[in-house]
Amino acid sequence: MRLIVENRFALFGLVALAMVTMLGIAYVIRPVNAVLGASEPGTVRPDHSIRVCPAPHESADDADSSIRAFAPRVDRDDVGSLRAAPVPAVGEPDEDAEESAEPTDEAVDASAADRTLGDELTEPGLLWDTDTGTETDPVALHADGALASGLDAAQVTVSDDEVTEVRCLEPSIGTWFALPGGNDPDDVAVDSLTAHLANPEDSRATVSVDVFTLEGPSYSSESRGIALAAGESTELDLTELVQNTGAIGVHVRTSTGRVGAALLAEHSSGATDWVPPTTDPGVEHVIPGALGGEGTRRLYVAAPGDAPAEVRVHVVRPEDADEEEATGTAEEPLVLDVAPAASAWLTLETALDGEPGTVVVESDVPVVAGVLAEIQDSGGDVVETAYSAAVEPLAFPHDTTAVLANVPEDVETQLVLGAVDADVSMIATPIGADGTQGDAVKITVGAGTTRVFGTEDDAWERPPGTDPEDAYAVRLELLEESAGSVHAARVLRSGEALSVAPVHPAPVRVELPVVRDSMVGVV
């Protein structure tokens, strides 16, 4: 120390050494750059996927129900497997096991494994299907290898007076819905509401269901902390939670594990439909498949946060629609105010003016949204209902394909396509059960318009050589000449019966996240 004090150069040396040391430490702990981590997103083909379909809402005595799945062939050497098994209800004993008050996870797994459904599929590019009319449990589809990429699956139920479709969903930590409640002065309401919950995975899941009404949150002890062992399912009656409100948002969430969630709504008219899940809370949503014609058309919005929402709504209508007296346009949108942690609804009849449309929802805070259509007969009575919801678009670079996995026989199929911002071109290719492809049909949608495709004049034709009694699949692909994205919904019609389901992208490759500036990049 005395040497440092007496030598004027020693102190300078210590300062320089300290600076070099600090620079060295800074270099070692600097943010990960392109050399140490991935600075650009990559893509990968998924090699494992699980999808869950709820049990049919009608028995085999009254309706025909089937699940069909399709994954495209990408490479000549593609192989994989697709198999299905039921997901038994909570406490349902194994038929071959001794009865017990609380079955173990192993017993439930063994029961599910012993009751496989349909044949195992090992080649992509073929249509997988199985009859589910007699099933009383949800069904889990397990896909591996090439059959996991670009996969989509749906269950369709057709009876004399109803047709319903429910998409088989991937298990998730959170699923959202928006729909009417059980009390409305115009009787636009549900008489019963049931959440179908299934855990198809190998670990336990704990589920809670939140309901956002016009007045705020609604819940019960039964809707909190629902325990599902591996391979178990259950149903939760939500009717009491929604019977005193006209609009609701429903959030099915897990604190551990993942579940597949489906929502079955029975309308006050008696019509029963699966309510499609909507996209997670966001400040902008696009809802395709708002039906034209007579009857009530309503938008339902829930704001789950702590701040009120000001929601602006406009409708994208067909190219030949009369715009002179149109309301709910992009220039003059409709406005809906939603209280914090609550829901609200908005009528769309005037904005749609009897035409099919695509509903665009913009908000200053995150919200979720869905649409209801009531179908009336010539006497003005409600004979059918249809729900649609916000969905991600078909868009470049990766979400350019979608699959209609279940195009049933003797049922009319239409697409409602909305191009919100730019001109869009796409092709639809029908594919038979054996992989036979029919003629591809080009579909164009003008910027700022909605188009209904699938009428007698412009519909695709079933694949050659297929039996008229057989179902088939249709693959949709966005063409490179498209200037933007397109939102799609599929409509099934059988007489007065109909169903609407948003069409989700089914990408063959998914994007991997950038790992720059993270410990993942170091590893």
CATH code: domain of residue 472: 2.60.290
Rounded Cα gap, residues 64 and 59, in angstroms: 8
Count of domains observed in the chain: 1
Contact 250, 177 (CB under 8 A): yes
Phi, psi of 106 (to 5 degrees): -65, -40
> Among 49-58, 110-119, 417-426, whose mean pLDDT is lowest?
110-119
Say if 415 falls within a structural domain.
yes
Rounded Cα gap, residues 402 and 477, in angstroms: 7
In the structure encoding, which two tokens stand for residue 249, read together?
């948002």
Contacts of 126 (CB under 8 A, 6+ apart): 70, 433, 434, 435
Say if 148 falls within a structural domain.
no
Say if 491 falls within a structural domain.
yes
In the structure encoding, which two tokens stand for residue 38, read together?
């991935």
Q: 3-state secondary structure string, 340-398?
A: CCEEEEEECHHHHCCCCEEEEEEEEEEEEEEEEEEEECCCCCEEEEEEEECCCCEECCC
Q: What is the pLDDT of residues 306-333, one digit of tens each?
A: 999 999 999 999 988 877 667 889 999 9
Contact 338, 309 (CB under 8 A): yes
Say if 190 falls within a structural domain.
no
Rounded Cα gap, residues 36 and 50, in angstroms: 34
Say if 453 falls within a structural domain.
yes
Phi, psi of 350 (to 5 degrees): -65, -40
Strand pairing class (297-303; 127-131): unpaired
Look at residue 103 and tell me whether its pLDDT is greater than 50.
Answer: no
In the structure encoding, which two tokens stand for residue 145, read together?
């290898």
Whole-number average pLDDT of the chain: 89
Which alpha helices (H) appear in 66-149, and where do they start and end? 105-114
Rounded Cα gap, residues 285 and 308, in angstroms: 17
How many contiguous H segments (helices) and E segments (strands) does the chain have?
6, 34
> Is pLDDT larger for residue 496 or for residue 367?
367
Say if 476 falls within a structural domain.
yes
What confidence score (pLDDT) does residue 2 get?
60
Contacts of 357 (CB under 8 A, 6+ apart): 290, 292, 315, 316, 317, 318, 348, 351, 418, 450
**pLDDT confidence bin for 94, thresholds 50/70/90:** very low
Q: Is the peptide bond before 397 cis (omega within 30 degrees of 0)?
A: yes
What confidence score (pLDDT) does residue 110 get?
47
| Average pLDDT estimate for 234-257 | 97
| Average pLDDT estimate for 405-416 | 93
Contacts of 430 (CB under 8 A, 6+ apart): 407, 437, 438, 439, 460, 461, 462, 463, 472, 473, 474
The count of C-alpha atoms lying within 13 angstroms of the C-alpha of 462, restricted to the half-sphere facing its C-beta, is: 19
Rounded Cα gap, residues 365 and 347, in angstroms: 21
Q: Identify the three-state secondary structure at position 510.
A: strand
Look at residue 109 and tell me whether its pLDDT is greater than 50.
Answer: no
What confidence score (pLDDT) does residue 92 get?
55
> Is pLDDT larger for residue 59 or for residue 247?
247
In the structure encoding, which two tokens stand for residue 186, read together?
């115009």
Contact 169, 208 (CB under 8 A): no
What confidence score (pLDDT) does residue 59 get?
80
Say if 501 falls within a structural domain.
yes
Structural domain for 459, as ranges: 401-510
Q: What is the pLDDT of residues 141-176, one digit of tens each?
A: 999 999 999 999 999 999 988 999 999 999 999 999
What confidence score (pLDDT) does residue 100 get?
41
Say if 144 falls within a structural domain.
no
Look at residue 95 and tell me whether its pLDDT is greater than 50.
Answer: no
> Among 85-89, 90-94, 262-266, 480-484, whose mean pLDDT is lowest?
90-94
Rounded Cα gap, residues 97 and 247, in angstroms: 45
| Average pLDDT estimate for 370-393 | 94
Look at residue 393 and tell me whether its pLDDT is greater than 60.
Answer: yes
Q: Cβ atoms within 10 A of the Cβ of 161, count?
A: 14
